[in-house]
Amino acid sequence: MSTDEERIKFLLQMHTSYWNNISRAEDACWKMMAAYTALIAGLSFSIPTIGYVGFLAIFIPFSFMSVNISLNANLWFLRNIGLISNLEKEFLRDKDYDYLIPKSWGEKYPFLNTEPWWIFTVVYFSVCLVVTVLMSQKISCAEQVFVGLLFLVCLFLTILYGEKMRNRYEKFKAHAPGRSLK
């Protein structure tokens, strides 16, 4: 086998691996959604024992952890899509774009995109916000302050983490742009 044939075989193997990575990430996100739903159900049954503050003290950090897992999955998805795009640019001829695949599929996605990871992020955050507001009406003022501070600390840490993920992706795009499409 020639060196060129070995290279092509290797690149095709990489292409397959990147798509498999995306599938595994999607599976992990759906498993996270199942775990999150189970957490809410389990905590709901435990309210008589742990109270509303106990519920929120567990629920809020896990909600933001779920947001962070979605942000991380988004980063890995974008990384793999970017690598797939770079590999396709190596294999495909210019005339193959808008014939075999749309030209736009050869471009890099922005960090904030319409992929499922952002839907998960928004859902986890929205559920957390709504449940926190609704349950805060059932607790004392001092407990509301604790819950509010917990929410704000988790929100702040999540924003920092999201910014870190966005910066990592921008560095990836800058250092692995692939050849440009004509």
Q: What is the mean pLDDT of the chain?
A: 90
CB 155 within 8 A of CB 64: yes
Task: Please determine, for residue 182, whether its predicted confidence score (pLDDT) is greater than 80.
Answer: no
Cα separation, 100 vs 50, in Å, equals 58
Task: Please determine, for residue 42, whether its predicted confidence score (pLDDT) is greater than 80.
Answer: yes
CB 155 within 8 A of CB 128: no
Task: Please determine, for residue 96, whether its predicted confidence score (pLDDT) is greater than 90.
Answer: no
pLDDT at res. 132 = 97
Task: Please determine, for residue 106, whether its predicted confidence score (pLDDT) is greater than 90.
Answer: no
Looking at this protein, which amino acid is placed at residue 114? Answer: T
The DSSP call for residue 112 is S
Give the residue among 179, 176, 3 at the shortest CA–CA distance from 92: 179
Cα separation, 178 vs 48, in Å, equals 57
Task: Please determine, for residue 139, whether its predicted confidence score (pLDDT) is greater than 90.
Answer: yes
pLDDT at res. 25 = 80
Query: Of 1-5, 23-27, 131-135, which range is least confident?
Result: 1-5
Token output for 182: 């004509």
Task: Please determine, for residue 168, whether its predicted confidence score (pLDDT) is greater than 80.
Answer: yes
pLDDT at res. 69 = 92
The larger pLDDT score, comparing residue 58 to residue 12, is at: 58
Give the Cβ contact number of residue 71 at 10 Å. Answer: 21
Cα separation, 145 vs 147, in Å, equals 5
pLDDT at res. 129 = 97
Instruction: Write out pLDDT tens, residues 48-88.
Output: 999 999 999 999 999 999 999 999 999 989 998 888 888 88
Q: What is the mean pLDDT of the segment spanning 155-182?
A: 91
Which contiguous run of DSSP H or E holds residue 129? helix 116-136
pLDDT at res. 3 = 80
For residue 101, the cross-strand partners are 97
CB 77 within 8 A of CB 115: yes
Instruction: Write out pLDDT tens, residues 86-95.
Output: 888 888 888 8
pLDDT at res. 57 = 97
